[in-house]
Structure 1
Amino acid sequence: MTTSSKTLGDWLHDFEREAFRLETLDDYGKSGGVAAYQAFLAGEPQPENYRTDSWVTTVGDAVRAGKRMYRVHILARPLTDYLRYELSWGYRRNMTAGEEFFILDTTEEELNEPAHYLYTTVTDPAYRDVKPGTVMALWAVNRAAGQGRTWVRRGCHFPGLVRYYRTQGFELVHEVQRTRTKVYLMGRRAEHVTDLEGRFGALSGPRSDTSA
């Protein structure tokens, strides 16, 4: 492994031919330009210091020197508030300085994959030790496979639930920032589950009161 004392600014100043950035997140709102982002959400004009930001100078200097700066953003609809801001303000501003942008929209590809959607589940705490929520999730995964679906998808609003659903084999696919809340969209590939009968059997019969 090699290390370098150069800063990002040094690399952007010293590169010889091309500088490329791959963006895969739905929200880079905490990486800079917070005031401009808030102005966009409030419907206000672009702040003067945003339009004349040093990044515009960096890009312009590189392009005039015969270098290329470009980025690819992989995204899916519906667009988050941040993506609307980025596409409406950020990319257009940077394009005036010569930066190039390429958008890879995976929405249609994602929508064309057959899937079941698992809505919220409610379980009795008395059965917590046999994990009824996990059993229901696995039932959905097994049923989706039996019906020729590719995915089981689900969503939530709380990071705690994201961690819990990950224990059931779901992975975070998108984080969608709404005006007042964030939505976490998750998915798990459909597959046949061989031990469902045993799991359902563990749920039968009386349970003791865990609060006693």
Structure 2
Amino acid sequence: MAESVGLALMVVLDTLGPAERLAFVLHDVFAVPFDEIAEIVGTSGDAAKMLAWRARRKVRDTPRPAASHREQRAVVDAFMAATGHGDFEGLLRVLDPDVTWREHTARGLVVRSGSTEVAARVRRAGRARGTARRVRVNDAFGVAAWTPDGRLRTVMACTVVNGRIVEMESVTDPARLASLSLPRPTVEGPWTRGARSR
């Protein structure tokens, strides 16, 4: 639940405007009446309802993986293996040519596009020491990585279509990662060697 819902909520909330986010969270999560929300955001009750409705629609329209769980797992495992071995060609085989990687960092959102740029960045990241394993994120498969001392370094969700990763959404912001209660890994080593799957 922490792996799936925690990152899903972070990613989805980032797509909403401040007023939409506030209306959605206050009403749908905390059941605050729209009249009270209207006072907080400085608008009318009807406008507050519209903000929540728009936010709900964006959440509902968030794309879901098109591949089966077996295919997702196989592609993510191939991605992890290629990353662990610094295999640039292997990364290109599992990344869609038009892949997009959205990384939520402490400095803000960083977007990379295209398999060549993404593979180069992933290969550099794969040189870091630590442990990684496949995890479930947003009802799909992704990767979580820890530093050698057990600190969560990143959580990444991968969207697989037709045997390739078409989208990657990761969180590296330490403040956000601190809110995810993933169990600490017990195996140490290079980024993906000895990774534990589930």
TM-score, normalised via structure 2 length: 0.27
TM-score, normalised via structure 1 length: 0.26
Larger relative CO (CA 8 A, sep 6+): 1 or 2?
2
- Rg: which structure is higher? 1
